[in-house]
Amino acid sequence: MKRRAQSASLTRRLTPMAMLGGRLSTMICIALSVGALVFSSVNPQTAQGIRLSVNDLAAPLLGAISAPIHEAALFVRNVTGLAELQAENMRLTQENMRLREWYQAAQLYQSENHALRDLLNLKAEMPKSYITARVLVDSGNAFARSLLVAGGQKDGVEKGQAVISGSGAVGRIIEAGDEVSRILLLSDINSRVPVMIEGTGTHAILAGQNDDQPRLERLPSGYKLEEGARVMTSGVGGLYPQGLPVGRVQETEQGLRVMLYADPSQLLYVRVIENREDSVLQSIDAAP
């Protein structure tokens, strides 16, 4: 009886202490979170370094878990695609006929182009090589649009390299660790890409808005943007090679926006363009 009374008394004394300890821990965690938020905003480079180290550590685990999911996604796509195969086949046959005519024309233009380049003694562009990387993680929220891919400095991926998919430009590498790299998508609010409107040669800046439809900024005053116009990278600044397909201008509730060709949510693999002109990035990196 006496023992039970002692135990009850101890519990009465310990409960407020435990509650106080719990509240103190909560306050410390909130303070740490707010501190980290401010720190990553004030000193993003250091925050990036820490993030890369953590991601490099987590990469094998993420890769192991995402591999079967990717296989399952591929299987689902293949199975659901069977029903559409006949229609797809007919469409491709017709497209193939059209493309044969284009192929003849393209060969003619290519030989003419080579002859003209030789005539002008034009410096030939370096052939591009690619690094294929599997998508591990996507941020996918209103605050950041990025992808983490299984390919890092060990594979030749470097900060600033442009990333493409089969459909068009995806973004650029903003963090390159040993094992993994992070791609800043074209739709991210921090993404600014020099582009031009096909056919007109008008230059503009593609500005991400953290939604699926980036905006075109810095268009020449008085320029009338038309719906359906194709947008491609202009190559200005050297970060993105010239002529990467980006998207198509489309009328939305927010006005004319660019509907991107590459849908990052459906990407399993991306291609990192290895050879690029480093002029801009090297000058940024070299800056104190």
Partner 1 sequence: MGAFSTWAERIDLGLRLMVPYSLLFLLLIFNVIALPILPSTTMKLPLILMGVYYWAIYRPTLISVWLAFLAGAALDFMMGVPLGLNALVLVVVRWFVVDQRRFLFAQSFIIIWLGFLLISLAAAVLQWLSFGLVNGTWVTLDSQFWTLLVSNGIFPFIYGLLHLSHKALPFPAVNSPYALKRQSRYKRVKR
- Please give the residue ranges that form the binding site for partner 1 (CB under 8 A): 22, 25-26, 29-30, 32-41, 47, 50-51, 54-55, 58, 61-62, 65-66, 69-70, 73, 76-77, 135-148, 175, 182, 185, 187, 189, 209-212, 264-268
DSSP 70-112: HHHHHHHHHHHHHTTHHHHHHHHHHHHHHHHHHHHHHHHHHHH
Nearest distance from residue 142's CB to partner 1, in Å?
A: 5
Nearest distance in Å: CB 206, partner 1: 17
In the complex with partner 1, which residue's Cβ is closer, 19 or 122?
Answer: 19
Nearer to partner 1, 61 or 115 (CB): 61
Which uninterrupted H or E stretch holds 256? Answer: strand 255-260
**Closer to partner 1 by Cβ: residue 61 or 108:** 61
Least CB distance to partner 1 at residue 99 (A): 28
Min dist CB 80 to partner 1, Å, is 10
User: CB within 8 A of 251, min separation 6: which ones?
Assistant: 227
- Smallest distance, partner 1 to C-beta of residue 281, A: 19
4 contacts: CB under 8 Å, gap ≥ 6: none
Indicate the residue among 24 and 115 with the shorter CB distance to partner 1. Answer: 24
Rounded Cα distance, 208 and 56, in Å: 27
Exposure class string for 30-42: b at 16+ Cβ within 10 A, else e: eeeeeeeeeeeee
Instruction: Give me the residues paired with residue 233 across strands.
Output: 195
Q: How far is the CB of 254 from partner 1 (least distance, A)?
A: 9
* 8 A C-beta contact, residue 241 and residue 162: yes
Beta strands, E only, 139-201: 146-150, 162-164, 169-176, 181-185, 192-197
Q: Which is nearer to partner 1, 123 or 143 (CB)?
A: 143
Query: Which residue number, 101 or 253, has a Cβ lying nearer to partner 1?
Result: 253
Taken in order 55, 57, 62, 63, the sign of the CA dihedral is positive
Burial environment of residue 14 by CB neighbours within 10 A (0 to 12, 13 to 18, 19 or more)? exposed
Q: Could you give the CA distance from residue 116 to residue 264 in angstroms, rounded to a whole number?
A: 39
Report in angstroms how near the CB of residue 190 gets to partner 1 at its nearest: 9
DSSP 207: E
Question: In this complex, which beta carbon is closest to partner 1, that of residue 25 or of residue 275?
Answer: 25
